[in-house]
Amino acid sequence: MSNLLKSLFRGAAPLPGETGRFAMGLSGVILLLAVLPILTMIVMSFSGASNLDFPPASYSLQWYQAAWNTFVSPDASDVLSLGQAFTTSLLVATLSMLFATLIAVPAAYALVRCEFRGKAAALQLMSLPLVFPMVVLGLALLLIFDSLPFQLNTSRLVIAHVILALPFVVRNCTAAMLSIGSEVEEAAKMLGASPLRAIVDVVVPLMRSGILAGMLLAFIISFNEFTVTYFLYNIDVMTVPIWMYSRTVSSLDPTVFSFAVLIVLIDFALIWALEKLVGEGGVSF
């Protein structure tokens, strides 16, 4: 019986470098489960009905037309248009990416090149946002910002998103630093460069793949962040995920699927650019 089961799942013994039928089938099932929500969302965005029945009884582009109208001007139930929320998301994501990179590059250099007390603790603290509950983090940041004597609007979102994206940028920059030997800096110093000039002109260009990977990951994380943003946004500063959530709370508007398709296309383009620019070897999640 055991031999029979093995023959059914495995078939002929695969050659080195090949996969068996069971492995291929399992991979196909996992891939289907991963893309099924996205495929469902795409199908529903072309629905010709006014409700969310699946599968749709008819198909049309009416919800994309409604999405464009909403992008340009807000509905009566909306305080801000999608265009304003999209502009805020781009601004916050860009600033978060830049600030996280400016912090991560020297931090990665110090973690790799320097020896100091508490280095292991610093490495652990850098990774803390990866495992910290997002709801608790959002609530803690809300209490901190509300206790300040001055008001922060967009800045509070940027600070929160930098905290969330920083571990990813540091990990990628650190991975790039580990591949750079100290002899390149020594050679630059022997040729007359100052220590700072050696880092800026020699080390940083060699970290290019890790820096680019970290920057794009930071942008993607910030652009799609919802949980922490939900605690920190206000009615005048609203990102795209928060705006979409507000539409689903008031009513199950099918235009949300059209907006979601746009977000997926943006994320797909960024991930494609990430792989083309630095390759899979330069990315650390």
> Domain locations in the chain?
21-60, 78-282
pLDDT in tens, the chain (285 residues): 555 455 544 545 555 555 567 778 887 888 778 777 777 777 777 776 666 667 776 777 777 777 777 766 655 555 566 778 888 899 999 999 999 999 999 888 888 887 777 777 777 777 777 777 888 888 888 888 888 887 888 888 999 999 999 988 988 888 888 887 778 878 888 887 787 888 888 888 888 888 888 888 899 899 988 888 988 888 778 888 888 887 777 666 677 777 778 888 887 887 787 777 666 555 555
pLDDT for 8 equals 43
The alpha-helical segments, DSSP class H, found in 73-194 are 82-113, 119-126, 128-131, 134-146, 154-178, 183-190
The pair of structure tokens assigned to 274 is 């990430």
pLDDT for 9 equals 47
The pair of structure tokens assigned to 14 is 């695969």
pLDDT for 101 equals 93
State the CATH class of domain 78-282.
mainly alpha
Contact 22, 9 (CB under 8 A): yes
pLDDT for 94 equals 93
Residue among 176, 180, 174, 172 nearest 215 (CA): 172
pLDDT for 188 equals 80
pLDDT for 103 equals 92
Give dist(CA 176, CA 104) in Å, integer.
Answer: 12
pLDDT for 91 equals 92
